[in-house]
A and B are shown apart, each in its own frame.
Chain A
Amino acid sequence: MSAKQVKDTAQEIKEHPMEGLLRMDRMPHIWCSTCGLGTTVTALATAINQLGLDTNKMAVVSGIGCTGRVAGYLKLDSFHTTHGRALPFALGLHISRPDMKVIVFSGDGDLISIGGNHFIHTARRNVDITVICVNNFIYAMTGGQVAPTTPVTAKSSTTPYGCYEHPFNLPRLAASSGATYVARWTALHIRRMTNSFKEAIAKPGFSFVEVIAPCSTLYARLNRLGTGLDLMKFYHDNSVIKHGIEPKDADIDFQSKIVVGKFIDIEKPTYIECLNDANKHVFGDKYKPYGGSDGSY
């Protein structure tokens, strides 16, 4: 490469390719390198770009945790709420602005432990929200405590001798609670994950994508699994793509095979469709379909 070529390339990459969707004034971010959040956020940004959606009409809501910080870095209307409560906040936001795409981006502890009740009920109602859950099998933000997803025998700071509780299988939970779209990928399945994000965002109803990601600083270290990159590769190389399988067959054991793929993709009326249909049925022409704060009422 000539000196001139090098210079041109340097100029070309001065602008971050995701600049339009990232809050560059908040960089550098707080995440450890190779934690998997980077590829996941990149995949989401790519998905949004490829869908060609009006980003003025998108919002992201997060709870608390490392993953919960995503809301702070995406250049959309973005809400960093309290631990576990991203979903009900997002529900209120969505109902008030049904014309907007609301994405909830949070951790497994946030969404499934403290926020578990909201998770099953938001799925049950089929609220038109896309949920991206980064599952690192641990509570990262608070220093590596056990999570409801921690595989049996895995160590955490509060299961120093190994976890002995049955973990949740998140796709199974989402599907049985009523989600219309359920997929799982690892943080290195960038193309497939991006594709799933696109499908999930386009899907009317409660869509759920789980991303298996390494926590390089805590989970990898406490379990002596090498670097974050080692673990990211391990998850990818030990995954088996099985589209359409029963989510109950997608349990995850400690450092063994991980079933990934698109498990559920069904049609079902959304919360707002149900609300409007029911009221139309009862009130007839007296009822004006509910249209949110920008609605025609």
Chain B
Amino acid sequence: MKADPRNVLTGANYLDGNHASAEGAIAAGCKFFAGYPITPSTEIAERFARRIPLLGGVFIQMEDELASMNAILGASWGGLKSMTCTSGPGFSLMMENFGLGIMLETPTVLVNVQRGGPSTGLPTLPGQADMMQARWGSHGDYEVIALAPDSPQESFELTIHAFNLSEKYRMPVLVMTDECVGHMTEKVIIPPAEEIELVERKYTDKKPGEAWPYESTNGDIAPMLPVGKGYKFHVTGLTHDYRGYPVINAEAQKLKVKHLVDKINKNVDDIIWIEEKDTDDAEIVMLSYGISSRVMQPAIARARKEGIKVGQIKMVTVWPFAEKRIAELAGKVKSLIMVEMNYGQVFLEMDRIARGRCKTYLAGHAGGTVHKPEDIYQIIKEAAK
């Protein structure tokens, strides 16, 4: 399906990452946004609130983030594409019901414009320290999809992509941006609507009385049931069977959790999106995501000028992690370096996958500002030794 031209601001726009993200959502056909203000994510909500009345949708400022997360799940079951955005403490509050979204297999999108933590931390300054929370922040066992835009352009594109993945895999999808990208203003080229491909939700083609909400296991995606059409279906956050009825035993748990995990694991080749540069003959490969993948460029350029063979990978999807490719590289290169604005989160995953076959380095940072190129450069020098 193509985007509706009424929703698309085709042309060259000058937008910050947050506004671009709101435009991405609108272009994707999002019609319901429930959110609670928090710096540095609020501009996404504000832009949506400004734009949506004439586009046939609703923005509602909820009483808190718990409410926001639940409202977007309810609206999604009601048939609207829905989203929320948040930062820092708000992300923590959304975690319980992000899990409900996973369990109910509900398409929706959550944009986290990361700031420095823990707690209230640095409301106005960047961080990338919610990456493990994105992965494991709700209780229980499940897999997630998390995308990391590095620019306003990507904020626009990846928000659309997040909606598409959420419909395709029938789950909430995370856009993990940060204060830098959110508040950085750049040119954003918005294509004509007919060039924006949207994934339409699959509803059952069975008749009421014959269809159930979770008719597939082992990672196959079951079509959803629409409300209001006589299916009279039931869904629950309790472990459930194909009918959506609670079943409290180990067997049902295995079927359900295995399905939630398989849904991603069986489709990693479709979901994972990484961008490689100069990795063919690299001795050192730099891994990064979001704003940090841009921040590391001067250090890489300097090292390459000095003859150090540095390649790089930008992870557009951080979760699921590009395990196969990183494992392959670990067997070939001297060192892998993770550049991220935390003291070692996605680094742990890279290090685990390297399994000692190459040296691994962390170019970490507490957040509050981006890395100094010099600091990254020093780590490259160390890794090249």
Which residues of chain A have a CB within 8 Å of any CB of chain B?
23, 25-26, 55-57, 59, 61, 64, 71-72, 75-82, 84-85, 87-97, 99-100, 117-118, 120-121, 275, 279, 282-283, 286-288, 290-295, 297
Contact = CB atoms under 8 A, between A and B. Distances in A.
A96 B32 contact: yes
Contact of A72 (B32, B66, B234): B234
Given A92-B82, A96-B78, A121 B58 contact: no
A64 B246 CA distance: 13
**Sorted from nearest, which 8 A-B pairs have the closest CB atoms?**
A96-B78, A92-B74, A297-B56, A293-B79, A80-B236, A92-B75, A92-B71, A88-B67
B230 interface: yes
Contacts of A55: 232
Contact of B234 (A56, A78, A282): A78
A92 B70 contact: yes
A276 to B, nearest CB: 10
B56 A57 contact: no
B233 A77 contact: yes
B246 A72 contact: yes
B100 interface: yes
Interface of B: 31-32, 34, 53-58, 60, 62-64, 66-68, 70-80, 82, 96-97, 100, 227-238, 245-246
Contacts of B66: 84-85, 88, 118
Q: Label chain B's interface by main secondary structure.
A: mixed
Nearest to B71: A92
A87 B97 CA distance: 13
A92 to B, nearest CB: 3
B234 A80 contact: yes
A295 B235 contact: no
A77 B237 contact: no
Contacts of B74: 61, 79, 88-94, 96
Given A79-B236, A121-B63, 6 more contacts: A78-B235, A85-B97, A92-B74, A94-B74, A96-B80, A279-B53
Contacts of A283: 53-54
Contacts of A297: 55-56
A195 to B, nearest CB: 25
